[in-house]
Amino acid sequence: MYDLIIIGAGPAGITASVYAARKRMNFLVITKDIGGQTAWSGNIENYTGYQFISGPELTAKFEEHMKKYNIDLKENEQALALERKENSILVKTDKGKYETATLIIASGKTSKELGVPGEKEFKNRGLTYCATCDGPLFTGKDVAVVGGGNSALDAALQLVKIARRVYIINIADNLTGDAIMQEKVNSSKKVSILNNTRITSIFGDKMVKGIKIEKKDKEESLAVEGIFVEVGLKPNSAFARGIDINENGEIKVNCRNETNIPGVFAAGDVTDVVEKQIIIAAGEGSKAALGAFRYLSRKR
């Protein structure tokens, strides 16, 4: 039986693993991928110690740090359910079962979908949820970014270097991303911002050919060959049944990263911590690991 299992290897999970390794805990990391949302980010300018670094570069730094320790890592594995036992927690995944005395849930978030006709049909056929991953496929093409927050603006700023034209489709009255990012977007002659606008459907044949948009009750078609969906994220908490969550599906934690179940901690974007930032997730991961170590020491 493990001292600790960490679910997730984004900034929170990786930092938790480094702290657990330094405490000489016997632990396991279970994750679908390395880096989480960080790996999908473009330019990062507010992570302490780096004036500028890209998401993939920072992910590589995280992974390098983590793998300096002899960590038991189960990659490409997804947690499906938790079972609480008398003195332990059983973690069930799509590949096995693992028992642990303490648990840190750092499973992060995934992209929300638009829920419009054509979205499922054209996924990976012109429609994507990751500008960092798929942006180069749309070199010289007209594309649409759906959303108005930091993720959407980050995607747009990546795409202006690649695409011929970038349309930002924003359902709100104004963009909501950071002022400095708005300034960069507004200064680009390649970007057209369509506020108070929503996508009603996506059309094409084998690949995306365009979108239908609605603005002030008027519907029109917009020819684009790429669609980047950046309308927010949903917590990866469905497997954590029995743990208290809020109305947004985020796991409730106190200032010590404790959940309502003794021995179960949570950290990062999957929790109800107000700000969703890489550096905050990393800090929360360290707190959770120290909390798990303290809990286990007192219990023993």
pLDDT digit string, tens, across residues 232-275: 889 999 999 999 999 999 999 999 999 999 999 999 999 999 88
Of the candidates 58, 187, 202, which has an alpha carbon nearest to the alpha carbon of residue 125?
202
User: Residue 142 phi/psi, 5° resolution?
Assistant: -85, 130
Q: How many CA atoms lie within 13 A of 104 on its CB side?
A: 41
Same domain, 194 and 281: no
User: Residue 150 carries which side chain, given as an amino acid letter?
Assistant: N
Cβ neighbors of 158 (< 8 A, separation 6 or more) are 42, 43, 131, 132, 135
- Which band of pLDDT confidence, cut at 50, 70 and 90, is reported for residue 44? confident
Q: Single out the catalytic residue among 33, 134, 178, 272.
A: 134
What is the tens place of the pLDDT at every residue in 78-135? 999 999 998 999 999 999 999 999 999 999 999 899 999 999 999 989 999 988 888 8
Backbone angles phi, psi at 212, to 5 degrees: -100, 130
Q: Looking at the structure, do residues 212 and 68 belong to the same domain, yes or no?
A: no
- Are 127 and 229 a contacting pair, CB within 8 Å? yes
Based on the residue annotation, tell me whether 255 is a catalytic residue of this protein.
no
Where b means 16+ CB within 10 Å and e means fewer, 97-122 reads: ebebbbbbbbbbbebeebeeebbeeb
Catalytic hit among 130, 154, 178, 244: 130
Are residues 251 and 211 both part of a single domain? no
Residue 34 · residue 75 · CB < 8 Å? yes
Total domains in the fold of the chain: 2
Q: Are 106 and 243 in a shared domain?
A: yes
Residue 39's pLDDT band (cuts 50, 70, 90):
confident
Confirm whether 119 is domain-assigned: no
> What domain range includes position 221?
127-229
pTM for the model: 0.83
Of 200, 229, 258, the one marking the end of a domain is 229
Asked if the structure places residue 116 within a domain, the reply is: no
- 185, 211, 229: which is the final residue of a domain? 229
Active-site choice (72, 94, 133, 244): 133
